[in-house]
Amino acid sequence: MIQLYGLRMSNYYSLTKSLLIEKGLAFEEVKAPPTQKEDNLARSPMGRMPAIGVDGHYLSETLAIAGYLERLQPEPVLIPADPFAAGKVLELACHIKLDVELVARRCLGEAFFGQTVSDETKANTEADLDKGMKALDRLFIGAPYAAGSELSLADFYTYFSFGLACGVTQKIFNRDLLEGRDKIKAVMARMAEHPSVAQVEAEKAS
C-alpha cells in the first residue's frame, strides 16, 4: 500500500490525495508536517509536503508523483497517451504551478499566517501574477476541461492551485484573480463537484 505523507491543509497534499482516489489506488495517510528533520528530508529532500512511500522508497514533488501514478495505474487517463497532447497538459500544469500558484505563495504568510511581507514583494507578486495569468489566457482551453475535451491532470492543478492563489489575491490585493476568466471559473466549479476532489474537501473539513 502507498503511504501519503503530509497534512490535509496543504493544497499539494490534497491534489496528490485526489489523484490517488481518482486512480482507485489503495493508500494510507500519514500525518507529517513540513520539517527539516532527517526522517522528513529522507522522504522529501526540501522538507516539504507531500511525499509518498512505496515499498520503503520515497517520492516527492507532486508533478513527479502524478507521473508515477499515471504509469502505475493508467486508468482513468489523466496524462494523454498522445505525446504532444501529454506535453500540452504538462505545460499547462507547469504554468499554473510556477507562474500563478508559486507567485501568489510569496504573500501566503501575510494572507493566512499572521506574517508580514514587504511592499516590494507585494508589488512584484501582483506584476508577476498578471504576467502568469496572461500566459494562462493563451493556454487554458476550458472546453470544457482545462486542456480541452478530456479531464486531465491540468484540471486538478487548476482546482488546487487557484484555490490558494485566489485566496491570497483576495486577501492581499482585495481583488478576484479570476475576474473575467469564466473558463477557469467553470473548471473550478466543475472540479469542486468532481467525486475525488469533493471527497478530499469533505475529509479536510472533518
Ligand X SMILES: N[C@@H](CCC(=O)N[C@@H](CS)C(=O)NCC(=O)O)C(=O)O
Give the residue with the Cβ less far from ligand X, 31 or 119. Answer: 31
**Is 144 an interacting residue with respect to ligand X (CB under 6 A)?**
no
CA distance 98 to 136: 11
Quickly count: other Cβ atoms within 10 Å of residue 104's Cβ.
Answer: 26
**Is 10 an interacting residue with respect to ligand X (CB under 6 A)?**
yes
- Residues numbered 61 to 90 that lie near ligand X (CB under 6 A) are 61-63
Give the residue with the Cβ less far from ligand X, 10 or 183. Answer: 10
User: How far, rounded to the nearest angstrom, does the alpha carbon of residue 19 sit from its chain's CA centroid?
Assistant: 11
User: How far, rounded to the nearest angstrom, does the alpha carbon of residue 54 sit from its chain's CA centroid?
Assistant: 21
Among residues 2, 5, 11, 181, the one that binds ligand X under rule CB under 6 A: 11
CB within 8 A of 102, min separation 6: which ones?
Answer: none
DSSP labels, 103-134: HHGGGHHHHHSS----HHHHHHHHHHHHHHHH
Q: What is the DSSP letter of 143?
A: S
Among residues 3, 21, 29, 47, the one that binds ligand X under rule CB under 6 A: 47
> Looking at beta carbons, which residue is closest to ligand X?
48
Minimum distance between the CB of residue 6 and ligand X, rounded to whole angstroms? 7
Give the residue with the Cβ less far from ligand X, 11 or 183. Answer: 11
Minimum distance between the CB of residue 144 and ligand X, rounded to whole angstroms? 25
* Residues of this chain that bind ligand X (CB under 6 A): 10-12, 34, 47-49, 61-63
